[in-house]
Amino acid sequence: MKKDFTPVLLDFGALHIYLARHFGFCYGVENAIEIAFRTVEEHQGKRIFLLSEMIHNPQVNDDLRERGVQFLQDTYGKQLMPFEELTADDIVIIPAFGTTLETEQRLNNLGIQTEKYNTTCPFVEKVWNRSAQIAEKNYTVVVHGKPRHEETRATFSHAASHTPTVIVNDMEEAKELAKYIIGEKPVAQFYEEFKGRYSKHFNAEKDLQRIGVVNQTTMLASDTLAIGDFLKQTMLRHYGLQEKNAEEHFADTRDTLCYATYDNQAATTGMLEVHADLAIVVGGYNSSNTSHLVELCEEKLPTYFVSTEEKILSPKEILHYDFRHKQELHTSDYLPSSQPVKILITSGASCPDALVEGVIRKLLNFFPISVSIETMIQQLTDK
């Protein structure tokens, strides 16, 4: 059944807000947060650690810190506290991104029961399981993801335990990988170009003859599909195959795409069909899935990436994040003078809905509105 991705209009008179049909927390994030907070409540008095950030949202992570939870690593795997200081009585929570098999083994060797407090997203685990399945058929796994991202590192580790594995960050890197598949580039060059992103004993001459593509679930689904299709067509041409026998050299892994990531991205695309003045995307600045929503919006109209309503300083000024250059920008006159002002709003999968509500309420302070937000909520509930 075709899903409805048209946005919801919140008509406040002078301000029209178009809210994405799907936004905010996905099942994996909700599940991880529920397990983490329940663990804190049930084990008061015990030392509780998070392997790294629970999700890429500062408010959620700060809340856990305030409850006494300590962090063992930063987002990029840098050690904040030596594992050797842990004891078997301590609790270590594995975040929604999962972790590498090597890290899991280190913790297990210390007597830490990682399986008991593991909040890895089921859709991330689905990618791991699919990687293991195609490994049994002698396919090499190509991971589409950001090489330093926790989830990509975890997926790489799990896949590499079964089969040769290599990471590509984007289509440009996929095109370079294809040149090794067809023999356009010398094999020896592969090891320098993809240094740190291929598994141990990877043989570029033979391990790129049968491949399958999986992804970091927060990447743009359309990008993963495009990379998969490009590499598939490369295989078809190189080996003289037809669609019916494509699996001789290319595994069909489209079923690993995360539905929540896809729905949020599709809802953002649907929202962009509306003629609007600007877009505001709410989420953690180090959130991969949120930055991809920003990318989609930036293609169509002025877009402001904010972490909270506090970044909206006034009707004239806004602080917003440039994720490409990793810096916060200060922009003036971001709201148009003509009314009604039309604003598109969405948020990343790690962003609490309360932050989106906060942004809406902040914007409403700048306009003479014809209906209260409480009345608007009631009207939507009654529909």
Supply the residues annotated as catalytic.
Answer: 151
Distance CA 152, CA 102 (A): 14
Q: 187, 178, 190: which is closest to 236 by C-alpha?
A: 178
Distance CA 164, CA 134 (A): 11
- b/e 228-245 (16+ beta carbons within 10 angstroms → b): bebbbebbbeebebeeee
Distance CA 50, CA 93 (A): 5
Distance CA 315, CA 68 (A): 38
- b/e 100-118 (16+ beta carbons within 10 angstroms → b): beebbebbeebebebeebb
Distance CA 332, CA 371 (A): 28
Element (H, E) at 341: strand 341-347
Q: At 262, give phi and psi (nearest 5°).
A: -60, -45
Q: What is the dihedral of CA 233, 170, 222, 56, to 10 degrees?
A: 150
Count the Cβ atoms, other than its own, within 10 Å of residue 324.
10
**122-135 and 150-160 helices cross at what angle (nearest 10)?**
30
- Helix (DSSP H) and strand (DSSP E) numbers for the chain: 12, 14
Could you report how far apart the first and last alpha carbons of the chain are, in Å?
21
From the number of C-beta atoms within 10 Å of its C-beta (0-12, 13-18, 19+), residue 2 rates as exposed
